[in-house]
Amino acid sequence: MALAFTSSPAIHASLSSSSSSCEQPKVSQLGTFQPLDRPQLLSTALNSRRRSAVKPLNAEPKRNDSIVPSAATIVAPEVTEKVEAEDFENLAKELQNASPLEIMDKALEIFGDDIAIAFSGAEDVALIEYAHLTGRPFRVFSLDTGRLNPETYQLFDAVEKHYGIRIEYMFPDAVEVQALVRTKGLFSFYEDGHQECCRVRKVRPLRRALKGLRAWITGQRKDQSPGTRSEIPVVQVDPSFEGLDGGAGSLVKWNPVANMDGKDIWNFLRTMNVPVNALHSQGYVSIGCEPCTRPVLPGQHEREGRWWWEDAKAKECGLHKGNIKDESVNGAAQTNGTATVTDIFDTKDIVTLSKPGVENLLKLEDRREPWLVVLYAPWCQFCQAMEGSYVDLAEKLAGSGVKVGKFRADGEQKAFAQQELQLGSFPTILFFPKHSSKPIKYPSEKRDVDSLLAFVNALR
């Protein structure tokens, strides 16, 4: 994700007169959109918070870095009363059934020039389109990690030209990047996880940017990552970062498309004919840095194209780390700390194996029949995504002489699975041959029935 701030030309003129390439519809042209009335519960807190005039960014036709204010250097105004978290909890309830356009309009109305859209160069271009349709001035920022795909940079340029805006890019600290690469190499994240690299290249630049704002707008959706994003509200006090006034509760986070499905986002993008990342047509869905992003395959969840060598629970780069909850109590994944996650792969054709059962499989050198076993965690969205194909496979193999099993390998069993069963990430699929004690790990990310069946047939 590249972090950048931009101002829309609507600050000085109407949207129609500011664009030289095409005429974009305004809110008044949409007919069905009516901005919500400002809730009374916010009137006192928000009205006391900011009533200064929106500061124009004076964007010119040609880029001039001197006129693009850095989020890290914006002069903070006099500190005013912070908005209570309860105000935004109530607002989130009021806006729960509102359209993304209504939510975007409310965000821009409340925060004006103190809010910006976080643009990653993927399908979150929808956020910019919604902001444009409100007819209000808006800003955009993006994090340039230095390792984005060429197609992402091309999209940045196309978006700037399409909307007549200037994206303010935030970059990682050169000294920090140099120290990381010289010490650990260019691809250390494949060996010890992506968090350190993301912290240097993304999280710290984001923190600098947000210190110049009172609110930001993200493209998070509930269906993107069931393990970490399934409960995000449309607006919240940011649980992880600080804003302009500093301290907890000083930054508000808006998620206008939280309740939309991916397919609805794409229907909107096609209808509005906006620029999109060329990688989407090559099988990429969730797009980040080039070394850590790849196309998804049949039967895979969209986030499985990111950091595929790690567990599903780790698939947040740190920009939205507040989504991640404590994952277990006595090895059982929890939701809100209480309810146990429902088990998966629950069918008569799949045998549930205990740790002693797996240990017996490992000891046997001459089994009566071969086994196919999935190492899984029920909270893992990638395990959930392949449940249908694995159940279908078990039905096809019923009576064939191949036993199909499952072993829950999270919690207390994870260390054992990593040491003895080649567990790298969930799900891991193993085939135990009839005349060999050593299991064979399924090497592919294709988890459709035909691919799994071809693997079994090649080995049995």
The letter for the amino acid at 9 is P
For this structure, is 383 an active site residue? yes
b (16+ CB within 10 A) / e for 99-127: bbbbbbbbbbebbbbbbbbbbbbbbbbbb
Specify whether the CB–CB gap between 380 and 312 falls below 8 A.
yes
Distance between CA atoms of residues 133 and 227, nearest Å: 32
What's the angle, vertex CA 147, arms to CA 202 and CA 230, rounded to 5? 50
Specify whether the CB–CB gap between 203 and 168 falls below 8 A.
no
Q: Which residues are paired to 429 by β-bridges?
A: 374
Distance between CA atoms of residues 247 and 398, nearest Å: 59
CB atoms within 10 A of CB 60: 10
Specify whether the CB–CB gap between 243 and 79 falls below 8 A.
no
φ, ψ of residue 332 in degrees (nearest 5): -100, 130
Distance between CA atoms of residues 335 and 178, nearest Å: 40
**Pairing of β 339-340 and β 332-335:** antiparallel
Distance between CA atoms of residues 378 and 332, nearest Å: 9
Q: Which residues are paired to 218 by β-bridges?
A: none
Tokens standing for 99?
Answer: 């359209």
Q: In what order do the strands lie in the sheet with 115-118?
A: 168-170, 140-143, 115-118, 215-217, 252-254, 235-237
Distance between CA atoms of residues 433 and 414, nearest Å: 23
- CA 421 to centroid of chain Cα atoms: 30
Distance between CA atoms of residues 271 and 198, nearest Å: 34
Tokens standing for 284?
Answer: 């990429």
For this structure, is 292 an active site residue? no
Of these residues, 197, 289, 292, 383, which one is catalytic? 383
The letter for the amino acid at 198 is C
Residues with catalytic roles: 380, 383
